[in-house]
């Protein structure tokens, strides 16, 4: 079984190669950013975290145990519940990682002037996702909700 640090390292290696080999000279790259896996933690039998790249910032769910016969095909969508809400993920596959699911946070990533700001945003996303809504929040916040990316970032900024 792969640990969160092992999966984070695999993701960084694979996506660094994708950056170098497949994404070279693609105009959507923010060259101020580099590939970094942020905040990966165990989430059931999967590992959850944010992957920052020069072309996207995605929330990823990666099986801790690589599946030989994946239950989902690339492109299939599922809703995943975490303490911070319910989010739609899209199934994907990449050699060197295997099957995984992704939820786009930013794409492209021109909003970020530097890598540190992107990583701080990714860490804030993970903090928000992993913590239960505070008791002082409304009933709406305690009930399962499907949040759009905009709603997630508005909550993070305190502008609900």
Q: What is the pLDDT of residues 17-59, one digit of tens each?
A: 999 999 988 999 999 999 999 999 999 899 999 999 999 999 9
Tell whether the model's pLDDT for residue 122 goes beyond 90: yes
Which domains are present in the chain? 4-156 (3.30.1460.40)
Whole-number pLDDT of residue 14: 98
| pTM beyond 0.85 | no
Letter string b/e over residues 3-37, b meaning 16 or more CB atoms within 10 A of that residue's CB: ebeebbebbbebbeebbeeeeeeeeebbeebbbbb
In this model, does residue 16 exceed pLDDT 60?
A: yes
Largest CA distance in the chain: 49
Residue 103 has pLDDT above 60, yes or no: yes
Q: What percent of the chain is modeled with pLDDT above 90?
A: 69
Rounded to 10 degrees, the C-alpha dihedral 52/62/39/56 comes to: 10
């Amino acid at each position: 079984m792969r640990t969160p640090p092992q999966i984070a390292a695999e993701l960084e290696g694979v996506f660094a190669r994708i950056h170098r080999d497949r994404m070279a000279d693609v105009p959507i790259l923010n060259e101020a950013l580099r590939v970094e896996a942020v905040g990966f933690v165990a989430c059931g039998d999967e590992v959850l975290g944010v992957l920052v790249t020069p072309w996207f910032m995605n929330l990823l769910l990666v099986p801790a145990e690589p599946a030989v016969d994946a239950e989902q095909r690339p492109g299939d969508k599922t809703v995943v519940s975490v303490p911070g809400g319910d989010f739609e993920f899209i199934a994907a596959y990449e050699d060197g990682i295997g099957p995984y699911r992704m939820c786009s946070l930013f794409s492209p990533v021109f909003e970020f002037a530097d890598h540190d700001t992107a990583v701080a945003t990714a860490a804030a996303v993970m903090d928000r996702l992993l913590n239960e809504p505070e008791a002082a929040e409304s009933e709406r916040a305690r009930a399962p909700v499907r949040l759009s990316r905009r709603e997630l970032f508005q909550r993070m900024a305190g502008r609900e």
